[in-house]
Structure 1
């Protein structure tokens, strides 16, 4: 049996969608069966929902019973390190053989993970998993293309993409590309003791991204750089927790210090997955960015 944690979040849902599309059985760990019921997963008999909390091993017996491989995903919260390490311990206690960690790695050339708390946490969790005695695989994607959907309101209303990135490059990846890899790893196993870095197929500036959105929507879009302080104030006003805003400030500072970005499609090639370009992503989501929405 196979298990996905974080199955109601963006990346967990994307992997789960692959199981649903392929009509394959999978178990999904959720914190609340009541909240998960609103996702309509009861329509898919191959999906088994089990309630439990990754950070509370005593709640995980039912979820981990008979599990051979697990895709471990949890939210980027201040307790992510503790939560995932506790979960690794629970996997070992319940005879899970192979943990596939959904991790992360920035695409900036020379990016120092110690300067961004979440990349450092991911590396610490990877080290803990490697020392656990369990078989492991790390999937380490860069920035998600989907983060630009958060800017769709300004783009649709004003034709402006406002971000504090200057003209640095990033190599964003489509979440659906990552899901194809995590699905295959979970279904087929193998690739033990391997770290799989993943980026999108292009290193792009924000001006490049604005141009691709404009081409997809048929409406002009320009990039307008803002300051780190301006973004911080906007994020706090939106209700984002201050600890997460602080973390994003750390990430931004290191990104600005490392303006060039690498492209790594080795995992795409390994699994025979065609890498989604940002132009294709923007075309797929053109309705969200188009004026009048």
Structure 2
């Protein structure tokens, strides 16, 4: 049996849906069965929903019973290290053979992972998992294409989106590509002791991304470069907690210091997954980017 945690989040949900699409059984750990059903996971063929909390080992008995492989995802939060390390301990106690950690790796060349608290946390959990006595694999995607959907309201209303990246390149990857790789890794096994980085197929500036969105939706879209201070004010005004805004400030500062981005498609190729170009991603979400539902 395969277990996916964080099943109602962006990546967890995509991975569970990909299991269902491939008609392969999977168990999905959720904290709220009602929320899972609302997220569209209830009733998917082959998907067993089970409630439990990664922070509380006593709630995980049913979730981990008979499980051979786990994909471990949890929210990027201040307690991520404690949450995931406790869960690793629970997996070991339950006899899980192989834990795949959903991690992350920035695409910028020379990026110092110690400068951004969440990459530091991921690396701390990776080290803990490597020493836990189970087979492990780290799946390490770069920025998700889906983050640009957050800018859909201003793209639709103003034909613009506002970030503080100047001419910095990023190599965003489609979450659907990650899901295909994750399902094949969990279904077929192997790759123990490997760290599998993933990026998208292009290193793109924000102006490049604007041009591809323009092409996809058939109307001009421009990138407006703003100051890091204005970006922070916008985040706080949108309700982002101050400590999370602090973390995003760290990430931005290091991206600006390392403006060139690598493209790494070895993981796509290893699992036979075609890397989705950004323009195709934007075409898939064109209705939203035009202001639709």
| TM-score past 0.5 threshold | yes
Structure 1 unaligned spans of 5+? none
Deviation at 1:292, TM superposition (A): 7.3
Contact 2:17 2:41 in 1 (8 A): no
Q: TM-score, normalised by structure 2?
A: 0.98
Q: What residue number does 2:237 align with?
A: 237
Identify if the C-alpha distance between structure 1 residues 157 and 94 changes in structure 2 by more than 3 Å, giving closer, same or farther.
Answer: same
Match of 1:22 in 2: 22
| Distance of 2:199 and 2:262 partners within structure 1 | 8
CA distance in 2, matches of 1:94, 1:86: 12
Counterpart for residue 134 of structure 1:
134
Aligned to 2:254: 254
**Cα–Cα, structure 1 residues 218 and 23, in superposed 2: closer, same or farther, change >3 Å?**
same
Task: String of CA shifts for 1:86-142, please: whole Å, max 9, x gaps.
Answer: 000000000000000100000000100110000010011000000001100000000
What is the alpha-carbon distance in structure 2 between the residues aligned to residue 292 and residue 60 of structure 1?
Answer: 40
Calculate the TM-score normalised by the size of structure 1.
0.98
Contact 2:71 2:101 in 1 (8 A): yes
Structure 1 residue aligned with 2:143: 143
Could you tell me which residue of structure 1 aligns to residue 51 of structure 2?
Answer: 51
- In the other structure, the counterpart of 1:122 is 122
CA distance in 2 between partners of 1:77 and 1:280 (Å): 31
Moved more, 134-143 or 37-46: 37-46
Partner of 1:74: 74
> Residue 288 of structure 1 aligns with which residue?
288
CA RMSD of aligned residues (A): 1.1
User: Which residue number corresponds to residue 89 of structure 1?
Assistant: 89
Give the Å deviation of 1:45.
4.4
Q: State the Cα distance separating 1:39 from its structure 2 match.
A: 2.9
Residue deviations 1:31-53, cap 9 Å, x none? 11232232343322411111111
- Residues 51 and 63 of structure 2 are in contact (CA less than 8 Å); yes or no, is this contact kept in structure 1? yes
Which stretch shows the higher mean deviation, 32-41 or 85-94?
32-41
Secondary structure of 2:42's match? helix
Matches within 5 A, 1:176-255: 176-255=176-255
Aligned to 1:36: 36
**Cα distance in 1, alignment partners of residues 213 and 40 from structure 2:** 31
C-alpha distance in structure 2 between counterparts of 1:73 and 1:292, whole Å: 30
Quote the residue 1:9 is aligned against: 9
Q: Is the 8 A contact 1:157 1:292 kept in 2?
A: no
* Corresponding position of 1:156: 156
Contact 1:137 1:195 in 2 (8 A): yes
The separation in 2 between residues aligned to 1:197 and 1:45, in whole angstroms, is 30
